[in-house]
Structure 1
Amino acid sequence: MEIRSPNPDTVFVLFGAGGDLSRRLIVPALFNLHLDGQLPARFRLLAVDRQDNQAATLAQSYRQGVADFSRRGAPAADVWTEFATRIDYQRMDVTDPAAFTALGQRLSAKAVPATDRIFYMATPPSLFAPIARGLGAAGLARDPACSRIVVEKPLGHDLRSFREINAVLGEQFTEKQLYRIDHFLGKETVQNILAMRFANPIFEPVWDRRYIDHVVVTVAETLGVEHRGAFYERAGALRDMVQNHLMQLLCLVAMEPPVAYDADNIRGRKLDVLSALRPITREQVPQCAVRGQYADGWINGARVPAYRHEPEVNPQSNTETYAAVRLFVDNWRWQDVPFYLRTGKRLTAAVWEISIRFRDVPHRAFPASAGLNTQPVRLVIQMQPEQGIVLKFMAKEPGSALRLRPVDMRFSYREAFNMPSPEAYETLLHDVMTGDATLFMRADQVEAAWRVLMPVLEAWADNPPDDFPNYAAGTWGPESAEALVAADGNSWLTPTLPPEAPAG
Structure 2
Amino acid sequence: MSPADTRVTIGRAMCEETPPEPCGMVIFGASGDLVARKLLPALFGLFRRGLLPERFFMLGFARTPMTDDDFRGRVSESILAAHPQGAGQLDDFLALCRYTYGDYDDPAAYTNLALCSSECVMDYHAAENLLFYLALPPHLHAGVVRHLHGAGLTAEGENGSPWRRVVFEKPFGHDLASALELDSRLCSVLRQEQIFRMDHYLGKETVQSILMFRFANAIFEPLWNRGYVDHVQITVAESLGIEHRGAYYDSAGCLRDMFQNHMMQMLALVAMEPPTSFDPERVRDERVKLLHSIRPWTADDMRHWVVRGQYTQGVTAEGASLAGYRHEPRVAEGSTTETYVAARLFIDNWRWQGVPFFLRSGKRMPRKVSEIAVTFRRVPHSMFGMHSKSEMPANVLVLKIQPEEGIDLHIQAKQPGPKSCMATMALAFKYREIFGINPPDAYERLLLDCMLGDRTLFWSREGVEASWRLITPVLDTWCDNPQTSPLHQYTAGTWGPEAAQRMISAAGRQWRR
TM superposition score category, shorter chain reference: over 0.9
Question: Who is 1:419 aligned against?
Answer: 437
C-alpha separation in 1, matches of 2:65 and 2:99: 10
Query: What's the offset of the Cα at 1:45?
Result: 0.8
Question: Who is 2:256 aligned against?
Answer: 239
Question: Who is 2:322 aligned against?
Answer: 304
Is 1:259 the counterpart of 2:279 in the alignment? no
The range that moved more, 130-139 or 456-465, is: 456-465
Is 1:96 the counterpart of 2:131 in the alignment? no
Q: Deviations over 1:403-452 (max 9, x none)?
A: 32222111121221112211000111011111111111111001101111
Question: Who is 2:375 aligned against?
Answer: 357
TM-score, normalised relative to structure 1: 0.93
Is 1:133 the counterpart of 2:133 in the alignment? no
Question: Who is 1:497 aligned against?
Answer: none
Give the conservation status (yes or no) of the 8 Å contact 2:57–2:96: yes
C-alpha separation in 2, matches of 1:106 and 1:307: 44
Question: Who is 1:193 aligned against?
Answer: 210
Q: 1:223 aligns with which of 219, 228, 240?
A: 240
Is 1:328 the counterpart of 2:333 in the alignment? no
Stretches of structure 1 that go unaligned for 5 or more consecutive residues are 495-504
Query: What's the offset of the Cα at 1:282?
Result: 3.4
Give the CA RMSD over aligned residues. Answer: 2.0
Question: Who is 1:484 aligned against?
Answer: 503
State the secondary structure of the residue aligned to 2:65.
Answer: coil
Question: Who is 2:458 aligned against?
Answer: 440
Identity rate, percent: 45
Query: What's the offset of the Cα at 1:374?
Result: 5.6
Question: Who is 2:186 aligned against?
Answer: 169
C-alpha separation in 2, matches of 1:391 and 1:202: 13
Question: Who is 1:500 aligned against?
Answer: none
Is 1:286 the counterpart of 2:303 in the alignment? yes
> CA separation of 1:374/1:353 partners in 2, compared to 1, >3 Å: closer, same or farther?
same
Give the conservation status (yes or no) of the 8 Å contact 1:221–1:347: yes
Stretches of structure 2 that go unaligned for 5 or more consecutive residues are 1-13
Question: Who is 2:47 aligned against?
Answer: 34
Question: Who is 1:270 aligned against?
Answer: 287
C-alpha separation in 2, matches of 1:7 and 1:206: 38
Give the conservation status (yes or no) of the 8 Å contact 2:378–2:390: no
C-alpha separation in 2, matches of 1:239 and 1:2: 37
Question: Who is 2:171 aligned against?
Answer: 154
C-alpha separation in 2, matches of 1:287 and 1:311: 32
> CA separation of 1:58/1:175 partners in 2, compared to 1, >3 Å: closer, same or farther?
same
Question: Who is 1:390 aligned against?
Answer: 408
C-alpha separation in 1, matches of 2:431 and 2:388: 34
> CA separation of 1:195/1:325 partners in 2, compared to 1, >3 Å: closer, same or farther?
same
Question: Who is 1:472 aligned against?
Answer: 491
Question: Who is 2:6 aligned against?
Answer: none
Q: Deviations over 1:334-380 (max 9, x none)?
A: 01111111001111221111110111222223322799726322111
Question: Who is 2:92 aligned against?
Answer: 82
Give the conservation status (yes or no) of the 8 Å contact 1:397–1:405: yes
State the secondary structure of the residue aligned to 1:409.
Answer: strand
C-alpha separation in 2, matches of 1:416 and 1:454: 42
Question: Who is 1:61 aligned against?
Answer: 74
Query: What's the offset of the Cα at 1:6?
Result: 4.7
Question: Who is 1:214 aligned against?
Answer: 231
State the secondary structure of the residue aligned to 1:172.
Answer: coil
Give the conservation status (yes or no) of the 8 Å contact 1:307–1:313: yes
Q: Deviations over 1:380-414 (max 9, x none)?
A: 11112222111112222233433322221111212
C-alpha separation in 1, matches of 2:19 and 2:50: 11
C-alpha separation in 1, matches of 2:486 and 2:457: 39
Give the conservation status (yes or no) of the 8 Å contact 2:308–2:487: no
C-alpha separation in 1, matches of 2:55 and 2:264: 38
State the secondary structure of the residue aligned to 1:40.
Answer: coil
Give the conservation status (yes or no) of the 8 Å contact 1:63–1:75: no
Displaced runs of 4+ in structure 1, greater than 6 A? Answer: 1-4, 369-372
TM-score, normalised relative to structure 2: 0.91
